[in-house]
A and B are shown apart, each in its own frame.
Chain A
Amino acid sequence: MNRIVILGAMTAAGLSAGVASAATLDDVKARGTLNCGVTTGLVGFAAPNANGEWEGFDVGVCRAVAAAVLGDPTAVEFVPTTGKTRFTALASGEIDLLARNTTWTFSRDVDLGFEFVGINYYDGQGFMIPKELGVSSAKELDGATVCIQTGTTTELNLADYFRKNNISYEPVPIETNAEAQPLYLEGACDVYTTDASGLAATRAAFENPGDHVVLPEIISKEPLGPLVRHGDNEWGDIARWTLNALIAAEELGVTSANIDELASGTNSPEINRLLGTEGTLGEMLGLDADWAVRAIKAGGNYGELFEKNIGENTPIGLARGLNAQWTEGGLLYSPPFR
């Protein structure tokens, strides 16, 4: 009993040590760099290129926040994290922001003590099969062998879905996406299931992508977003509204190409407030008036980031789908800048 108390006290001390440095904004400014947690590598979302510079969709969020806070999109210290180390890295204060295709769930938000600042990609679990199987719906997969990553939410979603539809399957457990690719191609499993964005990226790397199809069913909700620690709402606000600024910029037609022109003043009050020529939004965040201009300039607005890293002209070739603006039938909906 005593030991449990001591352990609990130590954990609490450790956590409160993390919370004690509540003014993350001041820490980041003093340090001069933003410590941003990313994956150790996920096609299109975050990976270093041949010159060792990080690129990708999640990386774009880190750079936008760094540009807004520090004025320099390259002032980012990328801390690669795995699925196992990401939450401790954030809780212990090693990183200021985690932008690592992390699903927003109740327990992560509430129980682990993090604050998701928004959603930058709406994902969902899908299925990929070889075309020659001649299956057009997941409901026809009775008795199929399925490659599935163990210990993930996808595993549980799969079990739920097959039970609900009263069909059977045989799981082939695998560890990582990289391991799944050769197994699936060798025919060790008929079906590969993971997040739809992952399926698209995997399929794009095949020698003959046309021989494989992604089934239309999406069986789960995987809202991926950046997150910060509980307890520093000012810092959370900065991250949240930087992401919103990227989304709102696309909605309002502000791009990295025309932003210099628009930043000198327009007759749209909302654009003016966003770009700091009207109102004091930047000041309320504890930043200067140009914060959003710099964030958008860092890598472009949401749509530009999407097109450059994972959009239809990239090898990954994801369609906007749910990730289109609300005005175009998607779910992206930034609260107003007012």
Chain B
Amino acid sequence: MSDTHAQSVAFVRDTMLPEQPPPVTEAGAIKWVRENLFRGWFNTILTIVSLYIIFKIVSGAYPWFANGIWNTSSLAECREMLDGMTGACFSVLTERWNQLLFGFTYPPEAYWRPTLAFVLLIVALVPVLYPKAPRNMLAFTAIYPFLAYWLIWGGTLLIPLMVLVGFAAGYFAFKQFERQSFAMGMLAGFAATVVVIWVGGTIPAALPDVLALEAVRSRDLGGFMLNMILGTVCVSLSLPFGILLALGRQSSMPIIKWICVVFIEFIRGVPLITLLFVANVVLAYFFPPGSNIDLVLRVIIMITAFASAYIAEVIRGGLAALPRGQYEAANSLGLDYAQSMRLIILPQALKISIPGIVNVAVGLFKDTTLVAIISMFDLVGMIRGPILASTEWNGVYWELWGFAVFVFFIVCFTISKYSQWLERQLATDHR
């Protein structure tokens, strides 16, 4: 039977053909280009048009960057050096970089202080942002706000130290009374904090020179540093306040509920710029002359209130998205309100809310530039005011605004990348 086919089939292959490389047009870069860029006439036209536009942009912008002048001291000088060629006057950045970053009144010999505070900020954020980082780094995060205050504003170390001691006392009081009930713990902690700060507040007044750095007034803060301070402080303060407001709005106690509702709806109904004007202009009428509450503090309060209301609504969305069974399950385990929120509800609700919270945070960070309108010199304020109004640099636009765009883009892009990473880390559902 072995030659059954000998008459009907002329040839039977009895070995495998050796593997051959795919045709050139079906592999590697060429395939990718063919499939993605030149698939059909319509795509081909789109590709060619896009390439042409990209070429125009690059060839137009390249000489501007390549001929950039980095070492003149005024616009006129820069134009003289360019001698009619297209080119950027980046020298405005090299000459005024310190004003763009720190404002124009921050003492130059103290620039290392905010820089160090910024570097330490990254260290302090690591354990908060990355769950795998060593847990004992959280201790540094707890100290960081006080350290940063001391570095940026200067003065004696005793002031932030006393406040830190106050908070520590509050924490221990809270721990003592927490076993009785969560509310008792909070109350005791709050009372202890206030008492310790109030009593301890007399010590720095008596010893103003202990470990003192040169004091810098809030009015002298400026540049991108001010955006960073406002952004960091307001985002980190508005998270806890936002959570409390969101929970308060869901509370079954009518007074708490109505306070939260009124606050959130009022703040959301008012533009941020209005609140900033109130902070700057109207409040001054109601204080007696001389009792000047720090402008930066007023602005921080207003922006925090604004962001809290928005974050509260985002978190409320997360709370509403949880199935009712989760609340009932927590109750059936015999957990009280504080425990069920802390252990069951909030971890899930916050996870759902991450994209929304990050959205608010990025928006808030960019909104800090609005303080330029109430004559504070943040990055935008510095550009719009002092730098464009100086006789040397009147008329430089692209370089300065390009720098501002670059700096803000880096920060906002980083935040958004982080949140995407975090979402992937926390993804416990199996989609």
A residues within 8 Å of B by Cβ?
10-11, 14-15, 17-18, 20-21, 39-44, 46-50, 52, 80-82, 84-85, 88-89, 91-94, 176, 178, 181-182, 201-202, 204-207, 314-316
User: Are A17 and B289 within 8 A (Cβ)?
Assistant: yes
Compute how far the CA of A207 lies from the CA of B284 in the bound complex, rounded to whole angstroms: 43
New A-B contacts (15) at CB < 8 Å, excluding given A17-B285, A181-B395, A207-B79: A40-B389, A41-B385, A43-B389, A50-B73, A50-B95, A50-B96, A81-B375, A89-B284, A94-B292, A176-B384, A178-B384, A178-B388, A315-B76, A315-B394, A316-B391
User: Within 8 Å CB of B397, what residues of A?
Assistant: 178, 181-182
Q: Which of A48, A49, A82, A181 contacts B374 (CB 8 A)?
A: A82
Inter-chain contact count A-B, CB under 8 Å?
A: 105
Compute how far the CA of A18 lies from the CA of B289 in the bound complex, rounded to whole angstroms: 6
What is the number of residues of chain B that contact chain A, defined by CB distance less than 8 Å?
A: 37
User: Are A52 and B105 within 8 A (Cβ)?
Assistant: yes
Selected A-B contacts with CB under 8 Å, 28 pairs: A11-B285, A17-B288, A21-B289, A40-B385, A41-B384, A41-B389, A43-B389, A43-B390, A43-B391, A47-B385, A47-B391, A48-B99, A48-B386, A50-B73, A50-B95, A52-B99, A80-B375, A80-B385, A81-B375, A82-B373, A85-B280, A178-B388, A181-B397, A202-B394, A206-B395, A315-B76, A315-B391, A315-B394
* CB within 8 Å of A: which B274-303 residues: 277, 280-282, 284-286, 288-290, 292
Closest to B397 in A: A182
Q: From known contacts A43-B391, A49-B390, A52-B104, infer whether A92 and B284 are also in contact, taking CB-CB under 8 Å.
A: yes
Residue from the set A40, A91, A205 with the largest chain B CB neighbour count within 10 Å: A40
B residues within 8 Å of A by Cβ?
73, 75-76, 79, 95-96, 99, 104-105, 277, 280-282, 284-286, 288-290, 292, 373-375, 377, 381, 384-392, 394-395, 397
User: Are B386 and A41 within 8 A (Cβ)?
Assistant: yes
Shortest A228–chain B CB gap in Å is: 14
User: Are A40 and B79 within 8 A (Cβ)?
Assistant: no
Closest to B280 in A: A85
User: Within 8 Å CB of A204, what residues of B?
Assistant: 394
Compute how far the CA of A15 lies from the CA of B284 in the bound complex, rounded to whole angstroms: 11
Closest to A52 in B: B104
User: Are B375 and A85 within 8 A (Cβ)?
Assistant: yes
User: Within 8 Å CB of B99, what residues of A?
Assistant: 48, 50, 52
User: Within 8 Å CB of B73, what residues of A?
Assistant: 50
Shortest B283–chain A CB gap in Å is: 9
User: Are A42 and B389 within 8 A (Cβ)?
Assistant: yes
